[in-house]
Structure 1
Amino acid sequence: MVADSKSKSDISFAGTFASSAFAACTAEICTIPLDTAKVRLQLQKKAVAGDGVALPKYKGMLGTVGTIAREEGLSALWKGIVPGLHRQCLFGGLRIGLYEPVKNLYVGNDFVGDVPLSKKILAGLTTGALAITIANPTDLVKVRLQAEGKLPPGVPRRYSGAVNAYSTIVRKEGLGALWTGLGPNVARNAIINAAELASYDQVKQTILKIPGFTDNVVTHLFAGLGAGFFAVCIGSPVDVVKSRMMGDSAYKSTLDCFLKTLKNDGPLAFYKGFIPNFGRLGSWNVIMFLTLEQAKKFVKSIESS
């Protein structure tokens, strides 16, 4: 598994990819309402109304979830689930499936002992950047579908669904538009992937050295929570920039988006949606890693039979 730093993977790459994609999709289905709330909070800007500043529409994780459900219906919380699953099959399968082979490549075939944390981080950065470069179009469509709130009567939606969104973006904005926000997306996902996988690897390895702890669900739970916390703390600023660039085409570049956000909304804007982000990534990591560990055991039993 991810934290088995001394051995090569005990199942095939195809088995690892399938297990990773399945685990990532399971976590996505369970937690996407929190992700939708996070995107809405991140895209919310200070609005000036008359002679004063308007109160923000969305407040807090639960408040945002409640507002979306009340105004748009419960199903709106699962907006973007189709491209979200597309994304997790590609991105989740590749970033997690390639982690062990890339980590082993960095330490060498003859390495014995605990893999240094620096190599784990480097492997996470590598697989995160590679996977999201391939999966960026799915991320873009997911954010665009999530960003669209309740529209005035008579105003049509930009996209009727995920497939329509892909084709409309290509037709109106060009094929390259599917890779809008690639810079901050690579930065965000490489950093978060490294934080998630390396911290899960490291926390699990540390816990297993404590007397009384074994490679079981409790260990996976603690390691998954640790992975989610580190990922949010490190990745939140680039996550905000990524969401704003994908949700609003007014920004010229990553730097332009960063500077305008800083100027207009202040430095705390980069941690907008921190609690829903942690609620999302913390629960996402717990569900994903618990599912992944069980899925790999299942695949191993099939491959070894």
Structure 2
Amino acid sequence: MSAKAAKPRIETPFYFGGLASCSGVFFTHPLDLLKVRMQTVKGTGTSIGSVVGQIAKQQGISGFYKGLSAALLRQATYSTVRFGVYEAVREKLRRPDGTVSNASGLLAGMLGGAIGGVFGNPADVANVRMQNDGSLPADQRRNYKNIVNALTRMAREEGISSFFTGLGPNVIRGMIMTLSQVATYDIFKDKLVELGMDGDKVITHFCSSMLSAFVATTATNPIDVAKTRIMNSKTKEYKGLVDALLTMVRKEGASSLLKGWVPSFFRLGPHTVLVFIFLEQYKSLYINYKLRNMQPA
């Protein structure tokens, strides 16, 4: 995610990661909603087609954008922090020759994901609940109107502690997601550049992001299913992350850990591609603007 080596190093704003993530979520929110709906269904036999048909029949096209305001706030908090911390730590660990080791990149990803998971948790709880509300019986729905209404009601009806429901799994997921998505993006991109691809070309960004999306989807899916179940539960059904994972395996089999993998990848793949293409373009525009306005020495 850097400019060509011949150019002077120019730091870009820390919030570009959050801005790129918000840009991407407009296109991929329906796929994220579909993933959540499939992950909260217990048992087997639910297909993507049946869930899509149910949403379209009961709620129409607008049903696929339930919880968009919460998703935007989540990206504005979670992704801004995780990308910002990742870039800051990565720069601190940069070697004298300007390179960053894979280990340093992975460490930066873990730290960024953990801190981002904390900041993004309140909006994430609201996001999961709003996305899944339409699948519940009418008398069990929370009927949050928007993200402000959701957070206000959560605080009033359940206390501020509800903002941190599922915090443990969310932090772990954030760590795994960022090191397997953001850090591996840089690793894959560096490898592709070594093979002769141009690091500033969109095709390089596309290939790097698709590879990182596959790794990230597979690595985070079990945690993601458990996190979604915990955040959506009204009865404190699970004692924690480990209990949720063990209960799922015991009652539904090991395959339950990969529930929603296909919609998750079809969401995370395009989302990762869009985020990194947006991010690279924002950075390129900013760097070129700075270079044009540099005063000669």
**TM-score of the pair, normalised by structure 1:** 0.88
Aligned amino acid, residue 29 of structure 1: F
**Displacement of 1:74:** 1.1
**Deviations 1:127-163 (Å, cap 9, x if unpaired)?**
0101111111010000000111256567764423221
Matched, 1:98 2:121: no
Matched, 1:236 2:221: yes
Change beyond 3 A, Cα 1:209–1:182? same
In the other structure, the counterpart of 2:164 is 179
In the other structure, the counterpart of 2:10 is 10
Change beyond 3 A, Cα 1:246–1:91? same
In the other structure, the counterpart of 2:74 is 87
In the other structure, the counterpart of 1:124 is 109
Matched, 1:290 2:266: no
**Displacement of 1:111:** 2.7
In the other structure, the counterpart of 2:54 is 67
**Displacement of 1:4:** 7.7
**Deviations 1:22-75 (Å, cap 9, x if unpaired)?**
2101111101111111101111002xxxxxxxx74x412x44223212222111
Change beyond 3 A, Cα 1:174–1:217? same
Question: Could you list the runs of 5+ residues in structure 1 that have no partner in the other structure?
Answer: 47-54
8 Å CA contact 1:9–1:100 kept in 2: the answer is no
**Displacement of 1:262:** 1.4
Change beyond 3 A, Cα 1:170–1:132? same
In the other structure, the counterpart of 1:137 is 122
In the other structure, the counterpart of 1:32 is 29
Question: Could you list the runs of 5+ residues in structure 2 that have no partner in the other structure?
Answer: none
Structure 1: distance between partners of 2:29 and 2:23: 10
Q: Give the alignment of 1:217-232 within 5 angstroms.
A: 217-232=202-217
Structure 2: distance between partners of 1:103 and 1:132: 18
In the other structure, the counterpart of 2:38 is 41
8 Å CA contact 1:35–1:280 kept in 2: the answer is yes
Determine what percentage of the aligned residue pairs are the same residue: 33
- Name segments (4+ residues, structure 1) moved above 6 Å: 3-8, 153-156
Structure 2: distance between partners of 1:180 and 1:92: 19
SS of 1:98's equivalent in the other structure is helix
Aligned residue pairs total 290
**Displacement of 1:11:** 2.7
Structure 1: distance between partners of 2:169 and 2:7: 34
**Displacement of 1:256:** 2.1
Change beyond 3 A, Cα 1:176–1:77? same
Change beyond 3 A, Cα 1:270–1:8? farther
**TM-score of the pair, normalised by structure 2:** 0.90
**Displacement of 1:301:** 3.3
Q: CA RMSD in A?
A: 2.3
